[in-house]
Amino acid sequence: MQVLLADEYGFCFGVERAVEMVEEAVGHGDTVRSLGPLIHNEQEMQRLGEHGVTTISEPVQIKRGETAVIRAHGVTPDVQRELEEKASKVVDATCPFVTRVQKLAARAAEKDRHVVIVGSPDHPEMIGVKGYAPDHAFVIRDETEVAGLPRLRNPLVVSQTTIKAKTFFDTAEAIKTKTDGEVQVVNTICSATRDRQDAARALAGMVDVFYIIGGRHSSNSVKLLAVCEEQCRKSYLIETKDEIDVADLAGAERVGVTAGASTPQWLIRKIVEHIDHLGKLSDESLTLA
């Protein structure tokens, strides 16, 4: 049995950077507290927890002497200010791709232009970006919500970094009906999600079983599962090696593996080694038979 890894999988650049920044702060002996879970992966959160990293839900919970972490999603300028006032140090791990969207929104608002962000209004990244264009920004999910927008002043249209390109461009097109001014459309979708999906799609048709390693609450992992299921009926989203049912591997010649953008390398390695081990066992039992 062969185990094949997708060409792109696991931590995206922004998440990897955030984890490295937190590890560096821990290495300096800081008491590190992340505003919201640093990543959507229970196992990695557990590992960081063993190094003393804890999670808070409100900036008010941070105390002097502690290091506050802004995760890759970013926060509003107000929240950032509050953290800077309360904490002894702030580690700003906002992904640079998100910072770019924040800056674009802030610049447009300074010129009194409207900003339409295509994404989920309750997603932390969207709440953060909206905060950079107070009284000027609207967050809408897709083109069906364009009708609810007021007339727009030379709008800037940007996207949540993880949405589908089609949703973004269809919405941007529909927004043109809402203004007599100029519409500036800037595609701020990050390629990390798409790259992982493309790589999974390329592999799914070649394997008998596909394991997607990722958190059940990680939306990009759930999307990867859907992509794999299109071509490989036996696709499974797993968080740990214990969730692998050996019976699913019976008769499998090729097993595909990919992982969501919040899945750490050490966990992927552990699971791949386990699948390899199971494969060797079944090969041996076939030889004995």
Given 38, 62, 95, 237, the residue binding ligand F3S (CB under 6 A): 95
Region near ligand F3S per CB under 6 A, out of 11-19, 49-57, 113-121, 229-237? 11-19
Asked if 98 is part of the footprint of ligand F3S (rule: CB under 6 A), the reply reads yes
> Does the active-site annotation cover 125?
yes
Asked if 21 is part of the footprint of ligand F3S (rule: CB under 6 A), the reply reads no
Catalytic hit among 8, 66, 125, 239: 125
Given 25, 32, 45, 72, the residue binding ligand F3S (CB under 6 A): 72
Asked if 14 is part of the footprint of ligand F3S (rule: CB under 6 A), the reply reads yes
Residue number with CB closer to ligand F3S (132 or 174): 132
The answer to whether 160 and 124 are in contact (CB under 8 A) is: no
Tell me the closest approach of the beta carbon of residue 252 to ligand F3S, in angstroms.
Answer: 31
Asked if 15 is part of the footprint of ligand F3S (rule: CB under 6 A), the reply reads yes
Residue number with CB closer to ligand F3S (95 or 275): 95
Asked if 13 is part of the footprint of ligand F3S (rule: CB under 6 A), the reply reads yes
Asked if 41 is part of the footprint of ligand F3S (rule: CB under 6 A), the reply reads no
Residue number with CB closer to ligand F3S (76 or 191): 191
Residue number with CB closer to ligand F3S (65 or 96): 96
Residue number with CB closer to ligand F3S (12 or 272): 12
In the shown chain, the binding pattern of residues 248 to 277 toward ligand F3S, with x for contact by CB under 6 A and - for none, equals: -------------x----------------
Asked if 192 is part of the footprint of ligand F3S (rule: CB under 6 A), the reply reads yes
Closest-by-Cβ residue to ligand F3S is 14
Pair of tokens at residue 88: 């002894």
Residues 6+ apart with CB under 8 A from 69: 18, 21, 22, 25, 32, 33, 34, 35, 38, 53, 90, 91, 93
The answer to whether 178 and 156 are in contact (CB under 8 A) is: no
The answer to whether 31 and 67 are in contact (CB under 8 A) is: yes
Asked if 161 is part of the footprint of ligand F3S (rule: CB under 6 A), the reply reads yes
The answer to whether 236 and 212 are in contact (CB under 8 A) is: yes
- d(CA 57, CA 40) in angstroms, rounded, equals 15
Binding site for ligand F3S (CB under 6 A): 12-15, 72, 95, 97-98, 161-162, 190, 192-193, 261
Catalytic residue IDs = 125
